[in-house]
Amino acid sequence: MNRLFRAALVAAILPIGLASVGCAHKSGSTCGAGGCGSADGDGLGGRYRNWVDVSWPERYNYAARQSVVAPFAQQAATGHFLNQTIWNFYFEPGTDKLNAGGMDKLNSLAHATPGPDPRVYLQHAQDVGVTPENMDKAGAIRNDLDGKRAMAIRRYMATQFGPPMEYEVLVHDAPTPSISAIAAGNAFRGQLTGYRGGLSGGAVNISSIGGSASGPPPGTGGNTIVNTTPPPAPAP
């Protein structure tokens, strides 16, 4: 009988104790007479915070989301930077005259939704070659051409629809992005047969995967078959 009485007494007292432990107030607040917090923050609420993270799992879920999203955010920012760039090949070589491709590119930037980005990037005039004769002044020639090309961009964007917009043209010297024509061609042709998760094997010149531009390494043929098909999964 005494055992049953003690069990009942514990069952009655335990919820009260848990409620007092869960009373986590800021320093300086109390829970009333005999309260669970104290003015110096050393009450049961303060002790509870010292042992348990009351923000679990929200703070950890937020940190996990940020660690996943951050690389994609950087990738999106880099892609936007490249898309906003007017490269050397959008001008007639060595001049500030936009070619047809350059005009089409500026048209697409001006028609972006919900509105055009007023910051446009310009690749440094690397199409001005350096020779022994102009080595001392090649840098000045390129800088002067950058300024003329920036003005050409502003003049062309002023012809677009809508109220005039002041475009900021910033010059950079990032490398021109490129992709292997073989890989792109294989991926494009693969669309005819449906979705494909990877690139199929094909004839690839060895110089594109480690050989020299003058020819394949000794002891190899002119072409080699690169098999990119993953191996079959092992039997269970």
- Write out the chain's pLDDT in tens, 236 residues: 455 555 555 455 545 544 444 444 444 444 544 444 444 445 677 788 888 888 889 999 999 999 999 999 999 999 999 999 999 999 999 999 999 999 999 999 999 999 999 999 999 999 999 999 999 999 999 999 999 999 999 999 999 998 889 999 999 999 988 888 898 888 888 887 776 655 555 444 433 333 333 333 444 333 333 333 444 555 55
* Whole-number pLDDT of residue 97: 98
Contacts 24+ apart (CB under 8 A), 114-118: 116/160, 116/165, 117/80, 117/84, 118/165, 118/166, 118/167, 118/168
- Which residue in this structure is represented by tokens 């500030």? 96
What are residue 203's phi and psi, to 5 degrees?
-80, 115
Q: How do strand 223-226 and strand 85-86 relate by DSSP bridges?
A: unpaired
* Whole-number pLDDT of residue 85: 97
199 and 186 Cβ atoms separated by less than 8 Å:
yes
- pTM, two decimals, is 0.57
* Whole-number pLDDT of residue 235: 56
* Whole-number pLDDT of residue 136: 94
- What is the separation of C-alpha 131 from the centre of its chain, rounded to a whole number of angstroms? 38
* Whole-number pLDDT of residue 187: 81
